[in-house]
Amino acid sequence: MLLHSVVSLLGLASVVFGQGGACGSQAKGALCPDKQCCGQYGYCGTTAEYCLTSKRCQSQCINDGPPPPPAGPKAPSIDTSKLFKPPAGTFDNLKLVGYFSNWAQYRGLDPSTPACHNDSVFLPENINPYLYTHINYAFVFMAENFTIIPHEYDDEDLSLRMNRWIKKLNPSCTTSYSVGGCGWLRASQYTGGIDYTPFFSRMASTAANRKVFINSAIAWARKLEFDGIDIDWEFVGNPERGGSSADRANFNSLVQELRAAAKTEAASSGKKELILTMAAPAGPDDIARIDPKTIAGSIDWFNLMTYDFYGNWDAVVENQAPIVDQRLSNWSFTSAINIYLGLGVPSRQLVAGLPLYGRVWTLTDLTQTTPGSPGAAGIAGRCTAQKGYLSYFEIQEILNSQNGRGVNFVPGNGYYLTFDDQWVGYDDEFSFVAKMDIIFKKNLGGAMLWAVDQDTKDFNLTKTLLTTFRACPSDGDWPATLAGQGAEIDCPTAPGFTQTRNCGNDGKWGVASNMDCIVNGASQAQFLVAKDVCIQGQ
């Protein structure tokens, strides 16, 4: 009995007082002697590095607040004097919203993608803040208790870095964080074994649950210096993705209560009221599960996800974001916009989505390459590493490697590229011009990009898109034309001859130059008259 007691006391001593200066989790929870502090690395000491809770002191600490969130990768060095700035007035009438995907920080670090190098990493400081009116940080998640939680380990650090970087360079560019996303998945290796699919539906189902979420959402925005909140509940009312028939009404309640709480918080804090937006579906079935007109009364705008109409889940190849309907009705960029307008949503609250990526198929028959040909899941990008998916910068790399061969543009549909046995449908300059023409004509609020980190490093396609913000809209037979460029069409009175018209730098049409039409049209008329006289004189 005595021996047992002595052993127990010795064991207790080894737990209470670390031997050799070791303590904390690194020494089975041992405390430091003489009331010393146990520092974050498991050693005893008395300085601030050991004792402050903000320095991750483990025991016998001085509480000076919580430690900072885990730090993300080191910020890149950016020469801000070389950042492209669009001309003044570019954003006078239209928004350009860009989503930043927080997993772009891992490019080049995954051993399964050896072709992706560290120079492909994209961090908040790689964003050019002058190119957008608004940036959404994607994504954060929601816990089972309906509070906001990080999606990546360093979300808090990257969020603060993004907001401070953008506000420092371009204070007029506002920011939001987006909660949810298409990664709201069933239990898998990507979710830590948690089934996230029913969380939104459960949260929205009661006023008490909604209040918890709303308070947490507002607190997260203020803590990390965001200007707004973007709700990306992509599967409202979809029973296959954790939804229920009650979601439609409950979602209305959620956005109404969130708006009311945002107003109250702004009044009490003296801060500007938070921007509220929604990442909105584009397919008719998904749109039918929400109440867009009612939602419009509580949010600032809809970010329409007008892409992914087709993908390698389909057995035939097709541009993933067609301009107008192709094989299916109400299944395109234009149709989605028309559905929302038809439901009574004000046009200026619609921001139409444009993809900076393409969907990829493996062709079944290399002799059949036009849209609608048979195909199966395509390759993964060297960096994006998702089967059947290529970012715009990856598409451009392939184009450069084959000197631009294999590119086709189908009016009303978009671009497609063939290489080896692969087929990718994507957007580029001309399809963006056509879509911006629709945005202008329907008086929408602007355009949205998924995602800013998928453009080329110097944002080539985004900069081209910005020129369309000053484009001349289509006018009769005249096609939509970029500012500073000219258009050419056939003469209606003189076949074989053309007339030209310039689109000014201000995005306004000039007068058509149709002298060839007049002269040659008159010559043809004189010829026909002379011919008629000659025939009559025979």
Top-ranked range on mean pLDDT: pick from 94-108, 173-187, 492-506: 94-108
Using CB atoms within 10 A of its CB, is residue 21 exposed (0-12), middle (13-18) or buried (19+)? middle
Query: What pLDDT digit, counting tens, does each position of 200-255 carry?
Result: 999 999 999 999 999 999 999 999 999 999 999 999 999 999 999 999 999 999 99
Query: What pLDDT digit, counting tens, does each position of 487-532 carry?
Result: 999 998 788 889 999 998 888 899 998 766 866 655 444 434 444 4
Confidence of residue 281 (pLDDT cuts 50, 70, 90): very high
Catalytic one among 49, 144, 225, 234? 234
Query: What pLDDT digit, counting tens, does each position of 10-30 carry?
Result: 333 333 444 457 899 888 899
> 67 Cβ partners below 8 Å, 6+ apart?
53, 54, 55, 56
Q: Give the mean model confidence (pLDDT) for residues 275-281.
A: 99
What burial letters (b/e) apply to 345-378, b meaning 16+ CB within 10 Å?
Answer: beeebbbbbbbbbbbbbbbeeeeeeebebebeeb
Q: Give the mean model confidence (pLDDT) for residues 190-201.
A: 83
Q: Which ranges in 406-514 belong to alpha helices (H)?
A: 429-441, 460-468
Q: What is the pTM of this model?
A: 0.84
Better-predicted residue by pLDDT, 155 or 5: 155
Task: State the amino acid at position 247 in one-letter form.
Answer: D
Name the percent of the chain lying above pLDDT 70.
90
pLDDT at 122 over 90: yes
Query: What pLDDT digit, counting tens, does each position of 339-384 carry?
Result: 999 999 999 999 999 999 999 999 999 999 999 999 999 999 999 9
Better-predicted residue by pLDDT, 491 or 303: 303
Length of the chain as a residue count: 538
Query: What pLDDT digit, counting tens, does each position of 409-465 carry?
Result: 999 999 999 999 999 999 999 999 999 999 999 999 999 999 999 999 999 999 999
Q: Give the mean model confidence (pLDDT) for residues 95-112.
A: 94
Are domains 14-68 and 131-296 of this chain identical in fold? no
Using CB atoms within 10 A of its CB, is residue 34 exposed (0-12), middle (13-18) or buried (19+)? exposed
Query: What distance in Å separates the CA atoms of residue 535 and residue 538, rounded to the nearest whole number?
Result: 5
**Domain residue ranges of the chain, discontinuous segments joined by +:** 14-68, 94-126+306-469, 131-296, 477-538
Fold of 14-68: Wheat Germ Agglutinin (Isolectin 2); domain 1 (3.30.60)
The answer regarding whether domain 131-296 maps to CATH 2.40.50.140 reads: no
Q: Give the mean model confidence (pLDDT) for residues 89-107.
A: 96
Helix and strand totals (H; E) in the chain = 13, 19
Confidence of residue 474 (pLDDT cuts 50, 70, 90): confident
Find how far residue 422's CA is from the centre of its chain: 25
Using CB atoms within 10 A of its CB, is residue 77 exposed (0-12), middle (13-18) or buried (19+)? exposed
Q: Which of 335, 263, 339, 248 is nearest to 298 (CA)?
A: 263
pLDDT at 186 over 80: no
pLDDT at 535 over 50: no
Query: Can you name the residues that pair with 376 across neighbouring β-strands?
Result: 362
Q: What is the pLDDT of residue 516?
A: 66
Q: What are phi and psi of 358, to 5 degrees?
A: -130, 165
Show the tokens assigned to 363: 């062709």
Strand 422-426 relative to strand 357-363, pairing: antiparallel
pLDDT at 69 over 60: yes
Q: What is the pLDDT of residue 219?
A: 99
Q: What is the pLDDT of residue 6?
A: 34
Q: Is position 397 annotated as part of the catalytic site?
A: no
